[in-house]
Chain A
Amino acid sequence: MAIFIAKRFGLALITLWILSMIVFFAGQVLPGDPGRAILGPLAAQSAVSHLDDQLGVNQPLLTQYWHWVSGFVHGDMGTSYQFQAPVEPFISHAIRHSLELAAVAFVIVVPLSILGGVVAALNVGKAPDRIITVLGLSASTVPEFVSGIVVIIVFGIWLNVLPISAAWGPGASFPDQLYHLILPSIPLVLVLFGYIARMARAGTVEALDSDYARTAILKGLPRGVVIRRHVLRNSLVPTVTVIATQTGYLIGGLVVIETLFNYQGIGNLIFKAAQDRDFPMLEAGVLTIGIVYMVATLIADFVYSMLNPRIRFGEAE
């Protein structure tokens, strides 16, 4: 177990280090310079050069990279070029927001789609199966900005029952925060439902077809017990992997949703940082998403091994 954790942890560190280099050096290809991004296109060149000197972006690339990496490992994420302030509060504020939105979306979509998948599998070829499959697939093909605008107009403007903006005011209570996150969660649920339900359906169909399920049924176990104890446990294995791989999307890939609902998540933060050549912000944001993704994958591995005891840790890699 300890070796397994150490190996995974080591691999994660190497991955993050490679990720940091890719982001840093790929970012240099972007045109323009940070001083110009701050002062605007019409500012005097002397003012831009002076600001670039102050920001340290005229130093050699390797020096800049070394400064940043050495600061990062000592807990200093750096100073934003654009906001001339430490990056850390921006990242922690944004990642907290993103995690909250992802959590709300997960809490809604995971039980819903597993339930949908199992119901479809238990009714293969029948009307419920067709309805769930077709609706799920259709919903996942609707872009978030379309479903987002539709839910805003319906629930925010026509019915006026849910807040349009996901940004809650200062001092909002936890239930109030959840209330603000319902509307932006709906497009995410629509995108993910079809995918997760399909995986759950496939896993359940396969499990229902297996020898152990047939044996359980033949030995007279009630249908509910068979599904709960024997089928679900095995059918959820691939589903868990799918859910884990969606973490990256749910944390860092929601630029459209965050923009539409004016929500200050990390997706939008790094998108703007890339536009403005704010490298410290971009690097810290991408690495934070990377860390969250690694942790989610690690958790998925554990859940996977718990659901399927035949898989030993050594083989799980």
Chain B
Amino acid sequence: MDENQRRLDSIRRGSSELENSFIDEFASGRLSRREFVRRGAVVGLSMPLMTAIIAACGGANNSGGSSPASSGGGTGSGTPGADLKVGIVTPTAAINPVTVADQGGLDMLGQCGEYLAISNSSLQLVPVLAEKWTANADSTVWTFTIRQGVKFHNGQAMTADDVVYTYKLQTDPKGSSNALSAFGGALTPSGVQKVDDFTVAFHLEAPNGNFPYLCSSDNYNMIIIPNNYDPSKWESTFLGTGPFKLKSYTPKVGASFIRNEAYWGKKALPATTEFTFYDTQQPEILALQGGTIDVIGQFSVDGGQSLLSGSSATVINLKSSAHRELSMRCDQAPFNDPRVRQAIALTLNRPEIVQGLFLGKADVGNDSPFAPVFPSTDTSVPQRAQDIAKAKSLLSAAGHGSGFSTKLFTENFLEIPKLAQIVKQAAAQVGVQIALTIETSSQYYGKAVFGQSDWLDGAMSLVDFGHRSVPNVFLTAPLQSKGTWNAAHFKNAQYDTLSKQYIAAPATDVQGQKTIAGKIENLLLEQTPIIYPYFYNYLTATASGVTGVEPTAIGHLFLFNASKA
């Protein structure tokens, strides 16, 4: 027996059955190192333990590599002391951790606040205010060990009481938390329990193998605030535990931050960061080109071509699961026949759409929420491609050989009106005439409940979805029979069972998740309640000489490793 094998056996003896099966997956080569680290983090394996396992396996499966961990502030090697000037989209409302629901707002939360964990650009969970976490056998109870020695910016020590307060506040069904929809069916206030001063247990409503993602930056409202702190006052203090402290915040104008010298982890590199808020993208791009700002938090391809084609800026290009969903009413003619829905999906030339709308900075969708960026996506499922002849024959078989007329409702947001036009023209090739209704977002979403929303009631409806690190939300609300955002009115018992199985599967059970994902992908291709044309990338721009900027596809902009030449 060689030395590596002895070390591996020694680790195995101290591990649970679940962890051992996960280690076996890695040792047998079925998991890449990146995937091993990502999934290991979800189930709470510590980084030293995973490093030991990787070493014991002889550094096997070195494909991909993982991005540097972002926990504990600065880890970069750039020059410290920079004064960074950053442009981001204007926060649309008060910076209240409970109600923030926009990108500018969540960007502000993430400057001073910290999460139990961060989901980094590789969708890998990195412990931050939690040191580790473990689940029981059926993933219904998750126990988090809270980091000791962490202080809020006012000097107060952070303990389990602060975590319990934050989570009870954000899961209160009588409250106005934006995180309620993410926690729906998963966690209620009574499930949040303090075990001791540095341990918190979450008792879930249903098994959830990816629950730690709900406690991470993925669920962006969940920064830890002090026990009994009034969240509506947060805007005046930005009282968190993070590597930067608030210097000033002026709504609609900007904010500035200084390095937190008492930070619990490695200190941030920049001395100060100054944020300027922009209502639209064009002035932001001009400001970067003119040297007024060093970083643009996010830009879209539509209007941002000069950044992509010029050499004046460096573009950080993150693959994401952000996408558009074109739903068709499965409970109404003509879309109550799956063949009609398939026919519409077959009219789209997806590679052309991706090139035309995103200059290729997007992945082609395959009519399921399993984006290529998700490691659990079964990539062996054949990709749907444009096939007009097949679309026509499907329509004929469904009794619509001469086509039909229908309506498509959508919102005037980013590239969506252009996509709606493309769908209209594509469908016309098979005789389907689509009348477009392009509304303001508030008109389109209406009350966001069935019967009072064009989004949820329209015969066809095209909506935007932001990035998530795991597909759970995409699999439930828009697709499950009782889903609150089920604009397609899709009701399929087999799908409901499969999606629940997927969510309950332990994150370590890679093959199990992939197998269920494959079944869901095939079922959705056959049923096609929703067309997923693409998953577009998250683009950030920095001026030349700026390094260490770490965006996440959900919208954060972490600057603790940033420096300026």
Contact = CB atoms under 8 A, between A and B. Distances in A.
Contacts, number: 139
B291 interface: yes
B177 interface: yes
A279 to B, nearest CB: 14
Contacts of B174: 46, 50
Most buried by B among A47, A50, A153: A47
A16 interface: no
B94 A85 contact: yes
Interface in B327-362: none
Given A164-B283, A269-B252, A84 B94 contact: yes
Nearest to A97: B253
Contacts of B173: 46
B287 interface: yes
A262 B176 contact: no
Contact of A36 (B254, B276, B279, B447): B447
Given A40-B102, A156-B286, A277-B442, A83 B449 contact: no
Interface residues of B, number: 53
Contacts of A31: 440, 442-443, 446
A39 B179 CA distance: 10
Contact of A90 (B177, B252, B484): B252
Contacts of A39: 99, 101, 176, 178
Contact of A44 (B96, B184, B283, B440): B184
Given A37-B442, A45-B449, A272 B94 contact: no
B290 interface: yes
Contacts of A35: 176
Contact of B180 (A47, A156, A163, A269): A47
Given A31-B440, A47-B175, A83 B253 contact: no
Given A82-B92, A157-B290, A41 B176 contact: no
A48 interface: yes
A83 B284 CA distance: 23
Interface in B67-102: 92-94, 96, 99, 101-102
Interface in B487-510: none
A167 B276 contact: yes
A72 B384 CA distance: 60
Nearest to A164: B290
A30 B176 contact: no
Interface in B278-293: 278-280, 282-284, 286-287, 289-292
A48 B176 contact: yes
Interface string A45-79: 11110110010000000000000000000000000
Interface of A: 30-33, 35-48, 50-51, 54, 82-85, 90, 93, 149, 152-153, 156-157, 160, 163-165, 167, 169-170, 259-262, 264, 268-269, 272, 275-277
CB-CB nearest 8 A-B residue pairs? A32-B442, A40-B101, A41-B445, A51-B176, A44-B180, A164-B290, A84-B94, A50-B176
11 contacts: A42-B101, A46-B173, A47-B177, A93-B250, A152-B290, A153-B286, A156-B286, A167-B254, A268-B279, A272-B279, A277-B442
Given A167-B276, A272-B252, 20 more contacts: A36-B445, A36-B448, A40-B178, A43-B180, A44-B181, A45-B449, A46-B173, A47-B177, A47-B178, A51-B99, A84-B232, A85-B94, A85-B251, A156-B286, A157-B289, A163-B290, A164-B287, A170-B248, A262-B284, A264-B252
